[in-house]
Structure 1
Amino acid sequence: MFDRDDLDRATEVVHRVMPPTPQYAWPLLRERFGVDVVVKHENHTPTGAFKVRGGLVYLDRLKRERPTVRGVVSATRGNHGQSLAFAGRRFGVPVAIVVPHGNSGEKNAAMRAFGADLIEHGADFDEAKPRAAALAEERGYEFVPSFHRDLVTGVATYALELFTAHPDLDVVYAPIGLGSGICGLIRTRDLLGLRTEIVGVVAQGANAYRLSVEAGAVEPTARAATFADGMAVRVPDPQALAMISAGAARIVEVTEHEIADAIRAYHEDTHNLAEGAGAAALAALAGERRALSGRKACAVLSGGNIDRGWAATVLSGGIPVPA
């Protein structure tokens, strides 16, 4: 993985495009949970999610090394695709993105608005991936995996911002999709010599990483059933799994009800709108609040890209049902 020089260079790349995102300690969250809660606001990026950092670092390196690259292609549920489309426009690289059928309409619209050529294929993320790889061969594009050293280094810049502002954090809760965010946190914590616990969070209906950590090997699941689409992964990445197994304190599962409750808590206490994956960390923190008494905790709000219909359902007390 990356070293401190790599992380500092990535930070320069990211901060040329966007300022550091805030990390606020919200008093109403403290009243609600009885814990000092710092929120890392990765919903405050140009794409509304933390992934934009990785796309910028990946395309910056690719454009320097291969200035004549014909284009890139990847699979996504939305935020990774937005990050590549955003960075591709900045660096002049065509971007094709494969999404599963039934994907978020608003995330699809955002990717197209950033300039991506959007292709629908398969029933879920793991079925969209092989089509993206085949499309790369057909078009002569570079295939961009969803877990890659550049992507992890890029998203780790939010961890550097967080730990620089709050080096005294006792525990950080972070959602797990394919793993770039939590791996960036783990590596950055270790580079800074901190003792902060990092807790990974998965949805109960998409718990492949918890099962795999317990088994000590990749354990795919048959389904990834959650409205937190950023965590809807059936097949863990082996390299991410190794880093999470070695560096995370534990993996916590949260239910759809708990995720929805956390979205409502964010809206009521901070007036920020979180997508399902973005609220999962706060849901896990809420479930462990009694054990956190006297400690300083952080919840990573990894993104706010929730479709209006689902947001309306959650804020009115319901739970979205994915198509």
Structure 2
Amino acid sequence: MFDLSELERAHRIVGTAVPPTPTHAWPLLAERLGTSVVVKHENHTPIGAFKVRGGLVYLERLKRERPDVPGIISATRGNHGQSLAFAAGRHGVPAVIYVPRSNSVEKNRAMRAFGAELVEHGDDFQAAREEAERRAQFAGLHMVPSFHPDLVLGVATYALELFRATADLDTLYVPIGQGSGICGCIMARDLLGLKTEIVGVQSTEAPSYALSFASGKIVTTETSNTRADGMATRIPDPEALALIRKGASRIVQVTDDEVADAIRAYWTDTHNLAEGAGAAALAAALQEKARLAGKRVGLILSGGNIDFDLFRSWIGTEAAPAAQRAVA
């Protein structure tokens, strides 16, 4: 997709709006996992998620190559749309974002606040994306896909920061939605000549990439009913799947309850708020705790955009007994 010089240039583009995010070793997380662990805090960006990097790189090229582009359009469950709205606003490009009905209220508000026209359509991400593609053709807008080499190039800049700060990671856990994050990690690792094992994470309620990884071909699912909306994908991207199958060691599936336990663990152990997909890497590491003894582990906290009502109902006080079991 790209070489190291292109990745470093992308990092400079991202750096005009996003300072390098922290990489922290949290002792309480180390106690919980029983091994050395570092967290890459992509919840500390201007949109609260790693996706902002991809939007900045994508819009920079689009505006450079098509200075008269009339506007962009895309579909999202939230963070991709915030990324595009944020980047489009910096370049003076109108942005139309489609989301499924019953999408995160707070993510919808954030996209509007960044200047996007927000349209609610369909019951899931796939339905919203298909409608966005139809409107793009009708209205002459530039359709931004959920997976694209420039998006991967942009988000790979967080992996560049991580690996240059901690080049000795044995295993890195990365959540998978449409695949840009894990593909960026694979590319950065390979370009830097490192041997870190990269493990993808999906929800048991939206396991399309995990099923496709195991079968060697695209496998779709009829539903994606996980509360971890950043991983709610029914149809994998073929290019992403090919890179993941080549560069990842495996994909771990985690339940919504395991994700909820991980959100609580992040809050109690680091006082960081993680959204569902953001906590998935920790959930997978906890599931595989026995195999991690003596290893140096990296976790991608990919975002912190969780609605307050979901936070309260999913991992609030009524879930305290599960939290206590996780600590025990």
Shared fold by TM > 0.5? yes
Please state how far the C-alpha of 1:15 moved relative to its aligned partner.
Answer: 0.5
SS of residue paired to 1:252:
strand
The structure-2 alpha-carbon separation of the partners of 1:258 and 1:317, relative to structure 1 and needing over 3 Å to count, comes to: farther
Structure 2: how far apart are the matches of 1:317 and 1:95? 40
Amino acid of the structure 2 residue aligned with 1:57: V
Give, in whole Å, the separation in 2 of the partners of 1:106 and 1:138. Answer: 29
Q: Deviation of residue 3 (structure 1)?
A: 1.0
Report what 1:250 is aligned to: 250
Q: Which moved more, 1:135-144 or 1:215-224?
A: 135-144
Alpha-carbon distance in structure 1 between the residues aligned to 2:213 and 2:198: 14
Q: What SS does the corresponding residue of 2:68 show, helix, strand or coil? A: coil
Give the aligned partner of residue 63 of structure 1.
63
Is 1:316 matched up with 2:317?
A: yes
Per the alignment, in what secondary structure is the counterpart of residue 282 of structure 1? helix
Q: CA deviation at 1:317?
A: 4.2
User: What is the aligned partner in structure 2 of residue 268 from structure 1?
Assistant: 268
2:11 is the counterpart of 1:38: no
Shift of 1:228: 0.3
Once the two structures are TM-superposed, the CA of residue 138 in structure 1 deviates from its matched residue by 2.1
1:109-138 Cα offsets, whole Å, 9 max, x none, are 000000000011111001111111111122
User: 1-side partners of 2:46 and 2:133: how far apart?
Assistant: 27
Superposition pairs of residues 82-161 of structure 1, within 5 angstroms: 82-161=82-161
CA drift at 1:312 = 1.3
Which amino acid counterpart does residue 46 of structure 2 have in structure 1?
A: P
**By how many angstroms is 1:308 displaced?**
0.2
Whole-angstrom CA distance in 1 between matches of 2:196 and 2:33: 20
Q: Counterpart amino acid of 1:315?
A: G
Shift of 1:289: 1.3
Q: CA deviation at 1:225?
A: 1.3
Q: Secondary structure at the match of 1:40?
A: strand
| AA matched with 2:102 | G
Q: 1:33-83 CA deviation, whole Å, 9 max, x = no partner?
A: 211110000000000000000000000001111111000000000000000
- DSSP-derived class of the 1:97 partner: strand
Residue segments in structure 2 that go unaligned for 5+ positions in a row? 321-328
Question: What is the alpha-carbon distance in structure 1 between the residues aligned to residue 43 and residue 201 of structure 2?
Answer: 18
Partner SS state of residue 298, structure 2? strand
Question: What are the Cα deviations for residues 223-266 of structure 1, in whole angstroms up to 9, with x where unaligned?
Answer: 11100000000000000000001110100000111000000000
Q: 1:31 and 1:212 mapped to 2: Cα distance?
A: 34
SS in 2 for 1:37: strand
* Map of 1:183 onto structure 2: 183
Report the 3-state secondary structure (helix = DSSP H, G, I; strand = E; otherwise coil) of the residue aligned with 1:272: coil
Q: Distance in 1 between matches of 2:118 and 2:125?
A: 14
Alignment correspondent of 1:293: 293
Distance in 2 (alpha carbons) for counterparts of 1:257 and 1:120: 28
Structure 1 unaligned blocks of 5 or more: none
Secondary structure class of the residue paired with 1:178: coil
TM-score (norm 2): 0.96
- Read off the aligned partner of 2:165 and give its amino acid letter: A
Distance in structure 1 (CA, Å) of the matches to 2:317 and 2:175: 24
Distance 1:83 1:177 in 2: 15
Matched residue, 2:324 = none
Distance 1:86 1:315 in 2: 31
Structure-1 residue corresponding to 2:72: 72
Q: Report the equivalent of 2:325.
A: none
2-structure distance, mates of 1:194, 1:66? 36
Letter in 2 for 1:251: I
1:86-110 CA deviation, whole Å, 9 max, x = no partner? 0000011100000001100000000
Match of 1:216 in 2: 216
- Whether 2:22 is the aligned partner of 1:22: answer yes
The count of aligned residue pairs is 319
User: Identity, % of aligned pairs?
Assistant: 62
State how far apart, in whole Å, the 1-side matches of 2:318 and 2:36 are: 26
| Separation of aligned partners in 1, 2:147 and 2:32 | 35
Q: Give the alignment's Cα RMSD to 1 decimal.
A: 0.9
SS in 1 for 2:239: helix
Aligned counterpart, 2:166: 166
| TM-score (ref. length: structure 1) | 0.98
